[in-house]
Structure 1
Amino acid sequence: MTAPAEAAEAAGVLRTTTAVRTRSTSLLDRARAGDSPWFTVDDDALERTAGAVATLTRSRFPDLDIPPHSRWRHFGVGSVDRAGALTERLDDAAAADRARAMIDLTVVSVLLDAGAGADWGFLEDGVRYQRSEGLAVASWHGFVDGAFSSDPDHPLQVDAHALRALTVDDLAAVLQVSPGNPLVGLAGRVQLMRSLGDALSAQPEVFGPAGRPGGLFDASSASSGVVDAHDILVHLLTSLSRIWPSGNVIDAEPLGDCWRHGAVDGPGATAGWLPLHKLSQWLTYSLIEPLQWAGVMVTGIDTLTGLPEYRNGGLLLDSGVLRLRDPQWAEKDWAPGDELVVEWRGLTVALLDEIAPLVRALLGVDEATMPLACVLEGGTWAAGRDTAQRLRGGLPPLNVLSDGTVF
């Protein structure tokens, strides 16, 4: 049994992107040395993959004016200015209140953004959107329709009471789920929303008496006009790690998207744990623009890591940068906590850090011009999606059994 103070200290270490990067890099060094039982690394393929990403980036953004990787890119799918439409509806609100509403939307939308499966889609004005874009559009409509608010007079908000009362039928209606339009992990998403409601309600000092995610605007010190991206992430991990159903804990301290791996070293109770925090980092990336629109300066964005999800990780497998030691493993079903999956995600983080400078060099830009968030958007995520679509109709190269809260 770990003492509470030691558990809290260990969790603090594992809630940093320094820990994500250093531990992921150690797994990459091990794989390059030939010591991984799961993967080999082909550095020649890494160069080729960077070239393919650079080519795709140039084709998508000929002037290399690349927006950052963010949920707000998905809200604009189909060339529909949903962000502008929401801004118009909030036109009479003060800048800080607009930011709080947009943070409300972003938090719920990102937390609903796990793999939807190949058979689900959301229909808007005769256009069917799938996967991340479909979930974004669906959650946007749910938000503007007041599905996540308990106050009919204030539909453009998310509050704890509404989330805690959410049912499977409620969320199915928001996401247009039906027997003919099945969504992977619907029940898991409902439980995540309820858990979010519990966490918001339990921390009124952070999220206010109504338990609104928009309370992060004040709690993160964004209201002061300057906030560091890593501070936003740590704040999210500290206040919301309890919502994840993974059961990964040190003593009673919840760790969230942090998994056991026998080859990961670290001090004290952190030994054997690989933190990844994919959805929390995706959320942090996605909160940057609402804060900037409110006049807040967000610093230190490049302390965040690449996202260890199946688009980026799938690109590395599909391009041959990573190879399974046994090709038959691609036919198996895997759980998020299986060491192969944990290592795949860690290797993805480390290799994205290596791909980014290669892509910049090929495009003739520097890190200031094209930070990691723009390499992802340009970029690796799009390349992974395109490759998966071409090879498997959009499915990832590994079948990870999801409850709708990890991938």
Structure 2
Amino acid sequence: MSTSQHGAAQAAAATLRTTPAIRDRCGQLLARAREGGSTWFTVDEGAIATAAREVADATRRRYPKGHIPFHSRWRHLEAGGVDRKGELDRLMAGLPPTSRAHAMVDLTFISVLLDAGAGADWSYTESASGQGFTRSEGLGVASFHAFTAGLFSSDKDHPLQADAQGLRALQTDHLAAAFQVRGNNPLVGLEGRAILLRRLGEAMSEQPEIFGQDGRPAGIFDLLVSPLGPDVPRTADVAAHDILSQILLACSGIWPASNAIGTIPLGDCWRHAAVRGDGLSDGWVPFHKLSQWLTYSLLEPFAWSGVQVRGLDALTGLPEYRNGGLLLDTGVLRLRDEGAARALWQPGDELIVEWRALTVALLDEVAVEVRKLLHLDAQRLPLACVLEGGTWAAGRELAQRHRGGLPPLRVASDGTVF
């Protein structure tokens, strides 16, 4: 690849690593579907109100006092009514504030990267509470205890960290033991999870300017918040999109998807023939679902560390099967061919790319209607809270009602897309 070609590829990748590009490309496909141009879906405008009612009802049930937190991995860490954040605080007692911030950021990174679909046959029993957990909650609780036990640290004297050496040396069977995986308790994608963490370790060791000499996810916190020293400035603030941008730049090489422009990996970006854009970005639809889920999940650790995070609504809705299922199960989206629900699809198939794009674009519209029903404005109910209240929970409830919890479309995912 020539210098000019490489420069064009870098420019295209930079465009695709922004949420305005996500909204623009997804909006193109929604406009096309509304005009009847989609091969796969029709859009029922009247059903948006139905979806909004489901979301508002779920929000009132889940948060009757009206205090709706952000959609975040930390909600899963509260599973079973156990205050694991308080437990972590006790373990961090005596540590300086910056070290506590580092531990929370490291934990968030690891827990989010381990949050792929667990499958219907796996569960985790927490010894301290005696409670059993499945799916995202189980993965969250298991990841919390693996982290606090030092599984991801190379330093036995400092267990509350994840570092490059510890992750590169992570053995799949050690991860399996921490997640209680046995013959009768199988976890879908176990090896893929271990590989992803090892790849994060490699990426961190190769970028000490971002992740520090020890190679820790918390290096991103220092880079954004306190680049001149270890103490968090009293006036520290950061834009949510800056957190996402740093994640997308620093972690672009860890994702298993082979999508790339030239030699530059794109991660969660996919081709769709109907999407237009400038230069080499033409025909690509970016989503960055897991990176945005990680960004949402980092909002609270940043805030707990004294950092104000602004511009939350720069982030988009998450294009995964609970949010997308909400739209199909409420009839906002309808399959032109009902038989498509019985097929097994790949993440790069046009139907799946379009479903995810329509999900992102429509979530913004559903959020407007939900705010009206709850008598709240965008400042008091940002998209991060609509998702939590919210769209994900309503999608899960509808899936349970209609299909015993299964998603409405079958996708052979590697765990970093759904």
Partner of residue 367 from structure 1, selected from 357, 378, 390? 378
Moved more, 169-178 or 369-378: 169-178
Measured in 1, the distance between the counterparts of 2:360 and 2:372 equals 20
| Equivalent residues, number | 407
SS of the residue 1:40 aligns to = strand
SS of the residue 2:125 aligns to = strand
Trace 1:4-403 onto structure 2 (pairs within 5 A): 4-125=6-127, 126-221=130-225, 223-224=232-233, 225-403=236-414
Q: Are the counterparts in 2 of residues 122 and 138 from structure 1 also a CA contact under 8 Å?
A: yes
Supply the AA of the counterpart residue of 1:193: L
Percent identity over the alignment is 61
> What TM-score, normalized to structure 1?
0.98
Q: CA deviation at 1:183?
A: 1.4
Supply the AA of the counterpart residue of 2:285: L
Q: Which runs of 5+ in 1 are unaligned?
A: none
Measured in 2, the distance between the counterparts of 1:307 and 1:403 equals 17
Measured in 2, the distance between the counterparts of 1:174 and 1:11 equals 37
Q: CA deviation at 1:175?
A: 1.4
Moved more, 338-347 or 220-229: 220-229
Give me the CA root mean square deviation: 1.1
Measured in 2, the distance between the counterparts of 1:366 and 1:226 equals 23
Supply the AA of the counterpart residue of 1:76: E
SS of the residue 1:295 aligns to = coil
Measured in 1, the distance between the counterparts of 2:166 and 2:263 equals 27
Measured in 2, the distance between the counterparts of 1:168 and 1:405 equals 18
Measured in 1, the distance between the counterparts of 2:123 and 2:331 equals 30
Measured in 2, the distance between the counterparts of 1:313 and 1:321 equals 10
> What TM-score, normalized to structure 2?
0.95
Q: Deviations over 1:280-315 (max 9, x none)?
A: 000001101011111011111110001111110111
Q: Which runs of 5+ in 2 are unaligned?
A: 227-231
Measured in 2, the distance between the counterparts of 1:77 and 1:337 equals 33
Measured in 1, the distance between the counterparts of 2:267 and 2:328 equals 25
Q: CA deviation at 1:331?
A: 0.7
Supply the AA of the counterpart residue of 2:186: P
Q: CA deviation at 1:403?
A: 2.0
Q: CA deviation at 1:167?
A: 2.1
SS of the residue 2:270 aligns to = strand
Measured in 2, the distance between the counterparts of 1:115 and 1:203 equals 29
Moved more, 217-226 or 13-22: 217-226
Measured in 1, the distance between the counterparts of 2:222 and 2:166 equals 21
Measured in 2, the distance between the counterparts of 1:187 and 1:402 equals 14
Measured in 2, the distance between the counterparts of 1:307 and 1:178 equals 32
Measured in 1, the distance between the counterparts of 2:180 and 2:399 equals 25
Q: Hey, what does 2:229 align to over in structure 1? A: none
SS of the residue 2:46 aligns to = helix
Q: Are the counterparts in 2 of residues 228 and 301 from structure 1 also a CA contact under 8 Å?
A: yes
Measured in 2, the distance between the counterparts of 1:332 and 1:123 equals 34
SS of the residue 1:298 aligns to = strand
Measured in 1, the distance between the counterparts of 2:397 and 2:126 equals 23
Runs of 4+ in 1 over 3 A off after TM superposition: none
SS of the residue 1:3 aligns to = helix
Measured in 2, the distance between the counterparts of 1:367 and 1:31 equals 27
SS of the residue 1:43 aligns to = coil
Q: Deviations over 1:159-214 (max 9, x none)?
A: 11111111221211121112211111111111111111110110011111111101
SS of the residue 1:118 aligns to = coil
Supply the AA of the counterpart residue of 1:245: P
